[in-house]
Amino acid sequence: MTKPILELKDIVTLVNKGTSNETEILKKLNLTINEGDFITIVGSNGAGKSTLFNVIGGNLPVDDGHILLHGNDITHQTEEERTKFLSRVFQDPKLGTAPRMTVAENMLLAQKRGEKRHLIPRKLKQQMTDFTRIAGIMHNGLEDRMNTATGNLSGGQRQALSFLMATLKRPDIILLDEHTAALDPRTSQNLLNATNERITEDGLTALMITHHLEDALIYGNRLIVLGDGQIKADFKGEEKQQLTAEKLYEYFEA
């Protein structure tokens, strides 16, 4: 039986609090994320997708409700504290990597994510073989550029590195925030395929925001439709497999 990793209970978030423009973004939202879930998330602009990720990531405090990790309340944990169990890949390839550090150095940095920093030898050479092997799973030549400064990589390679860094320590939750949106169609597709391969083969737990309904249908074991700060639909298993783009479009009609 699958166990819940993360639970959001009656989550409420407000913006412009205390003013005439005060707005409720998430409205008593409830979501249970189980171990091994790969959840694709769709919704119109303003539906609350980015707010949901910011709440999970600790970037945005909640105004009401609770967040539970393995049954423990983490509602008031900071963004830094949540890096111990959570990682995120953003839309912009420039985010998430250090441009002046090499690919291998960035991977070493990611390996220390969530740990206290000490003045100890890096031991980069000893791990180069393993890092090169891991980079090879992205199928885009990243493994041949281990000593290249990240700022000199292509957008696709840099985003692939961001994804590898996010998954290197096997976090409890991975947030993929439209991580292929800034790439050309072919590079985007290659990264999506590699993303799916690593998540499914390693049994990782991930949430992925996408504006492409076709991708939401293809990838993941669950598909969530967000609308007006609430979950309008949560398709799983066979129901998701039989879901069509036409059916999804109905949730976007005025």
Q: Which spans in the chain are helix H?
A: 49-57, 79-82, 103-111, 124-136, 155-167, 185-202, 213-218, 237-241, 245-249
**246 exposed, middle or buried (CB, 10 Å; 0-12, 13-18, 19+)?**
exposed
Asked if 160 and 194 count as a contact pair (C-beta separation under 8 A), the reply is yes
Place of tokens 């407000």: 14
pLDDT tens, per residue, the chain with 254 residues? 677 999 999 999 998 888 999 999 999 999 999 999 999 999 998 899 999 999 999 999 999 999 999 999 999 999 999 999 999 999 998 888 999 999 999 999 888 775 555 544 467 888 899 999 999 999 899 999 999 999 999 999 999 999 999 999 899 999 999 999 999 999 999 999 999 999 999 999 999 999 999 999 999 999 999 999 999 999 999 999 999 999 999 988 75
Asked if 7 and 32 count as a contact pair (C-beta separation under 8 A), the reply is yes
| 4-250, CATH topology level | Rossmann fold (3.40.50)
State the Rg of the chain over Cα: 19
Specify the DSSP class assigned to residue 102. B
Tell me the sheet residues that pair with 33. Answer: 6
Distances (CA, A) of 145 to 93, 104, 140, 204: 17, 9, 10, 26
Structure tokens at 50: 């980015």
Q: Where are the domains of the chain?
A: 4-250
Structure tokens at 201: 């083969």
